[in-house]
Structure 1
Amino acid sequence: MAEITYHKQDSTRKAIIFDMDGTLFQTNKVLEISLFETFNYLKSINEWENEIPIEKYREIMGAPLPTVWETLLPNHTEDIREFTDSFFLKVLVENIRNGKGDLYPNVEDIFNYLKDNNWSIFIASNGLKEYLKAIVRFYHLDNWILDFYSIEEIDSLNKSDLVEFILKKHNIKKGAVVGDRISDINAAKDSGLVSIGCNFDFARDEELAKADYIIDDLIELKSIVHKL
């Protein structure tokens, strides 16, 4: 299993683990243009002829990319899916580096608050490492986060296993998982952490209902973290 690109030694006891897409990063701002570029290219090589499935993608937002392409390209070969995955990642990273995305409001404010109050910050995402690295570097998130982890590092591609991996590696004894989808909420519960659901762009009411707390803005984490 490959080592993550970023790593800082620590003896963490308490931490907040954030999802990336739809939690810290407004993925929708680069999603549509990247998906359109990808499927337009598939059209140009005669591998796609229908409308671009942007709505279907939004429905499965946050799923591991192999699942995404199985859903969006159900009748295509595995080779085409792998090619599409690689092309989409390249386009997505380029759009991030060109500043076409954005963080959600108050990311820096809440990161400063957590750091000032001795909470370690991690990112655990279903996104690929190169994608996450592009966001971390462009927005200088490494000024606050201790490390970031991709689902690629876990053979099961299960967010709960990824969070458990982080807990063991950094000796985390208490904390919370902050995210917008059921995989984040389940990861918190499976690991004995507090689950905080973000009622943002891609969130679903039936999934958020299972969280310990629901927030409409990241700044609301201050009062919740204080209770922890």
Structure 2
Amino acid sequence: MSIKLERPEAVIFDLDGTLFQAETLMIPSYYAAFDHMREEGTYQGETPPVERLIGGLGMLLSDIWERVLPGGSKELHHRVNELLLKYQQELLDKGEGVLYPGVPEMLQRLKNEGIRLFIASNGMENYVKSVVKYKGIDSYFEGLYSAGEYNTPSKVELVRLLMETEGVQGGWMVGDRSSDVEAGLKNGLKVVGCRYAEFGKENELEGSDVVITDIRQLPDYLPE
């Protein structure tokens, strides 16, 4: 590994598409939510293509639902989101949902180096906390920050809030979407772009300091 980044005080991770294979919960929950709405009469018609949801992962929820159901009412967007979370929670309770290979070992390695670890996600509070807890990685993190809990308008603001609250002066932002790159750069962090979830566009990670194709590569960028 020829490139080495400055040793980070902290590493801030995105969740979906970075640590967690979100589609392993999202896709079955998505279809279950639309089936539910048809049964209760709050939605008629075909289920929108699931690709709209997958392509929007990492965005703010309001933007995701506008993408999935353009022109839909706020009530409809709220209901499908509520049901999606319900079915995701049920799947998590059953042990469903998959971390990317090597995530716990990678987090342990960073922790052993004395690096502070955090999550900053555009997801809902209960979803973020449940995934981290049920997948057994909660003990690695000092703080879990979500747009759902803090009602932040962008990932930039969420990361800024995290850094101010936790007293983080610098470090790495690790994520798979352009919003993660922007959040890192605008908050003075080095950016590690993750290109393995295949949610984003070709130029999604433009501006990253380095790009990895497997989360297990992350510790390789630590200085000797």
* The two structures share one fold, judged by TM-score above 0.5: yes
Task: Give per-residue Cα distances to partners, 1:83-131, cap 9 Å, x unaligned.
Answer: 2211111111111221221100111111111111010000000111100
Query: Does residue 34 of structure 1 match 2:29?
Result: yes
Which of 11, 15, 28 aligns to 2:10? It is 15
Question: Residue 226 of structure 1 corresponds to which residue in structure 2?
Answer: 223
Q: How does 1:12-161 map to 2 (within 5 A)?
A: 14-46=9-41, 47-161=43-157
Sequence identity, in percent? Answer: 31
Q: CA deviation at 1:71?
A: 2.1
Q: Secondary structure at the match of 1:192?
A: coil
Which residue of 208, 211, 215 corresponds with 1:211?
Answer: 208
Unmatched runs of 5 consecutive residues or more in structure 2: 1-7
* DSSP-derived class of the 2:82 partner: helix
Of residues 97-106 and 198-207 in structure 1, the stretch that sits farther from structure 2 once superposed is: 198-207
Contact 1:122-1:148 within 8 A present in 2 as well: yes
Partner of 2:3: none
How much does 1:48 deviate? 2.8
Distance 1:53 1:153 in 2: 28
State whether residues 174 and 192 of structure 2, in contact with CA within 8 Å, keep that contact through their aligned partners in structure 1.
yes
* Alignment partners' CA distance in 2, 1:18 and 1:151: 14
What TM-score do the two structures reach when normalised by structure 1? 0.89
C-alpha distance in 2, partners of 1:60/1:123? 19
Gaps of 5+ in 1: 1-12
Aligned pairs, how many?
215
> Runs of 4+ in structure 1 displaced over 4 angstroms?
none
Contact kept? 2:48, 2:68, Cα under 8 Å: no
What TM-score, normalized to structure 2? 0.90
The one-letter amino acid paired with 2:184 is A
SS at match of 1:208: coil
* CA deviations over 1:120-163 (Å, ceiling 9, x no partner): 00000011110011112112212211111111244442101110
Whole-Å separation in 2 of the counterparts to 1:199 and 1:177: 14
- Measure, in 2, the Cα distance between the counterparts of 1:127 and 1:216: 23
